[in-house]
Structure 1
């Protein structure tokens, strides 16, 4: 019988976390392990998780990195055949877990498969909604090394907000770089691609994932993206620049706003692009200085 684990890293997830876990428990018939590593939350996150039947380990917040907690979880659940990673703000839609499991069982050479993220229109904004549509289409995919020219940098696009890993193959690529504060999912996906394995996308496995980012939030997020690309320069060398993908996104969103009759939102949209670009460049400069020891 297959063993399938599910892991969530948490920190001050809030009272709404109870609903996130309820939705998981409604689909947990195939799960053998439900595990959380909490970074010393000061709210009721740990109590909620234990009440909902999750096993919880607590670490110091200073010990947290995205790479480390996910590596630790994979090693803790090494007895599992597959491991689902989620984040604390993802709301499962019907049958999402089963769809991921069915897909990765069917494709033995897929290292990771990620689900389709949609924005909750009640709380999200039009920009985030369009970004999700741009990155998460309706076509099922398996991306492999022979498709680099077709996908470019999107060949290693993946998301640990809702993804399932083949545990044997994850161990084969030596899990995640434990220093990573961002992009551990892209890092793992790129290593799977290099090893000749596939990165799957399962649009039938749907979740709501809504950030509600402000301009400041976008700026800070793109600082981390800039750092990630300098610290992992091999990604751009082997799979190409991400600039063309950024330009596609700008043109796609602008066209969408025009067609939707929301021309007045275009200036704000371009402020978002500027915030992202400035943050990205700042992150690159910071990481370059750190690598030089300045």
Structure 2
């Protein structure tokens, strides 16, 4: 039995999946199996993935949900632990998997998730979200706080058998799963050393749709909660101020002067519209999801550990670069 199974959900990810699979081939943990769950890609995603040692699971687009695709991937897995990764992420370090599964030495840990950062195409406001959601310090989360993210996470397969993912949610199936695990007496761990690059280059419309979809899911998980128009105004303005503050200090204010308000407007307008179909998140989760980054600056923003093995993608032969795009 493989120690670790990697489940990757994908749809038309020909630009990214080869980089992720290349990074997996360089991991210090070698006893892995890779399961790609494809939901009807029409580009070269499957052709690229098939050049690597993967197990392919296919799902019809009309049958897709985030929870269903994960359940199919987990069902095909044989590893003791299941690492879940989005197809448009790639690891920074060769010990990414090793760091991500390390907390499982504690039998009370049900789920771990790692740090995320953007790349050169990431919107400035999205990078601020990554910094707020995924800080540089480590913590075992409180039992009442199920925040996590399945773009870069790992779970126990034995526990998944007891708690499968909810296939009806429009998103946030990771938070819902963590909430159920916590209610069963388990904990979740954040591992900042398990860092990935998360490539999001969305149009404003897609940003709006993503946050609207997640808000619909969130109000289903917490039906007693609400997100009022006042919340939209307050959080849009405070995050706008925070982003402009940090952009000014980072020396990128003018280049992001228009992208920041567009992103934040779509984020919170999408959230407001999603919650109009009912629902309010508790204050702790609202702070995690929406509150702006603090108006303070770290003394040293360079957090890379020079002694850790960094994956050099510039010299790595990535198969996707050799397969013509179907576009």
Query: What's the TM-score, normalizing by structure 1?
Result: 0.82
**Mapped partners of 1:16, 1:267: distance in 2:** 27
- TM-superposed CA distance for 1:271, in Å, is 3.6
Contact in 1 for aligned 2:29/2:97 (Cα 8 Å): no
| Structure 1 residue runs of 4 or more that deviate by more than 6 Å after TM superposition | 242-248
Q: What corresponds to 2:204 in structure 1?
A: 215
- TM-superposed CA distance for 1:256, in Å, is 1.6
Q: What corresponds to 2:311 in structure 1?
A: none
Contact in 1 for aligned 2:114/2:192 (Cα 8 Å): yes
Name which of 140, 143, 163 aligns with 1:142: 140
- TM-superposed CA distance for 1:3, in Å, is 2.2
**Mapped partners of 1:28, 1:44: distance in 2:** 28
Q: Secondary structure at the match of 2:110?
A: strand
CA gap 1:165/1:250 in 2 versus in 1, 3 angstroms: farther
Q: Secondary structure at the match of 2:206?
A: helix
Q: Secondary structure at the match of 1:179?
A: coil
Name which of 254, 269, 281 aligns with 1:278: 269
**1:206-240, Cα deviation, whole Å (9 max, x unpaired):** 11112023322221111112211222225859xxx
CA gap 1:19/1:197 in 2 versus in 1, 3 angstroms: same
CA gap 1:230/1:207 in 2 versus in 1, 3 angstroms: same
- TM-superposed CA distance for 1:276, in Å, is 2.0
CA gap 1:277/1:270 in 2 versus in 1, 3 angstroms: same
Contact in 2 for aligned 1:66/1:178 (Cα 8 Å): yes
- Ranges in structure 1 where 5+ consecutive residues have no aligned partner: 149-154, 289-294
Residue 201 (structure 1) aligned with residue 190 (structure 2): yes
- Over aligned residues, Cα RMSD in angstroms? 2.7
Q: What corresponds to 2:216 in structure 1?
A: 227
CA gap 1:16/1:169 in 2 versus in 1, 3 angstroms: closer
Name which of 122, 125, 130 aligns with 1:124: 122
- TM-superposed CA distance for 1:262, in Å, is 5.1
CA gap 1:112/1:236 in 2 versus in 1, 3 angstroms: farther
- TM-superposed CA distance for 1:186, in Å, is 1.1
**1:31-71, Cα deviation, whole Å (9 max, x unpaired):** 34211111121122222222101010222111111001111
CA gap 1:236/1:168 in 2 versus in 1, 3 angstroms: farther
Question: Greater helix percent: which structure?
Answer: 1
Q: What corresponds to 1:67 in structure 2?
A: 67
- TM-superposed CA distance for 1:257, in Å, is 3.0
**1:232-291, Cα deviation, whole Å (9 max, x unpaired):** 225859xxxx98988875554343234345555456533433222221222223468xxx
